[in-house]
Structure 1
Amino acid sequence: MWKVEDSCMEWLDKSPPSSVIYVSFGSLVVLSQEQVDNLDTALMNSNKAFLWVIKPSDGVSKDGVELPIEFVGETKERGLVVKWCTQEKVLMHPSVACFISPCGWNSTLETLVTGVPVIAWPFWTDQPTNAMLIENVFRNGVRVNIAKDGTASAEEIERCIRDVMDGPRAEGLKKKAMEMKESAQKALKGGTSNKNIDQFISYLIIAGNPARA
């Protein structure tokens, strides 16, 4: 839907392994200015490198959402903001350490197959359920706690970044993310995923030609 900015891949190539926070809220979620401000404060205070995807409708546009000049100035040496990117390639890049995501199902699957820990920040539909799976079932990430007014504070986002990047739980989260990656790869190579699709195809063939039954 939007032009991919390939410059982000060149930028990632120059970054150390497992050093970059990848931030993207997909094609539907639009953050309020307050949430953008809280997120940029958290990223600025984290002192970590980051790649932040802000699609065109999140920039200086009819929505009136923009990044503060101070934030852009103070983080220009360790941060990159782009309008759109190829998410699969970004998540597969070795410099990416974690993904701040609203946890749509497509993004959730992509984190599982690439072994990237998640900072889950859900908004609607299936996202809260997927975030619950990430935190409690897959255990490959943490979930942002949302206040009663529906916002996530800068302090809360910072807490999640610390947990995933260099806190006491960081190593365990990374290990679990890699275990999920290995399980996903096995499922695609003759595992349950292949078996289920083969069974489904066989069912369709038989249903369409009862004589084969």
Structure 2
Amino acid sequence: MKKIILGLFLFSVSLISAQDINEDLKGRTTFAVKAGWLQSTLKGDDVDYLAVDGKVDARNSFFAGVSVDNSIGKHFGLKHELFYQNYGGEFKRELEDHVFDATLEMHSLRLNPISAVFQVKGLQLYAGPYVNMLLYSSISAIDENGKKYKDHGIFGSTEDDQEDSKYLQKMDYGIVAGLEYQFKFGLIIGAQFTRGFASIFDNSNTFGVEENEGANDFKIYNQNFNVFVGYRF
């Protein structure tokens, strides 16, 4: 995965370097705020660990954040973004001989550190890596009386025994791709797609992506789609 991210970065740099730079635009930096609707789900071969029959329905929620654009040519630039997002999935879960409607809810900060941007007038197309930092999580569970509740223990801690139970990884990474259009008065509309490449379960007490490569990891990954509005200053 590190090779993929490094390859994307080197490709972005080489693509931009190959262009004739417009000195009027070189070094121009703009700032934007964005917010919108986010539809999230879970993908992977081991989704049936969570969901009956491995079926996960999309969860609708929100995200909001900031974006910085560095224009380094007439048609090319770099984008850096930081978002707070609420995401997860909805599914039927079997626990203690009960089958019930469950929700996996996660809150995180998503950093898109550097995305290569191609721009024609107000239209932008961009892609790059992302890193997700989990802040909060819960999953629907059933107590001994058969009542449903939010189990926050799935967040895990450094003291948790990974052999007995599974907890959420504190970080995951993947790729983001998006498009947006800016009107002349500063309004932005756009959409993004993100796909995780790191298992979101197991090894949660390592707190890092380097250690999240164990042979026993569940193959369950984040996948999100969002649409947003914003304003560029």
Question: TM-score, with normalisation over the residues of structure 2?
Answer: 0.23
Question: TM-score, with normalisation over the residues of structure 1?
Answer: 0.24
Structure number with the higher strand fraction is 2
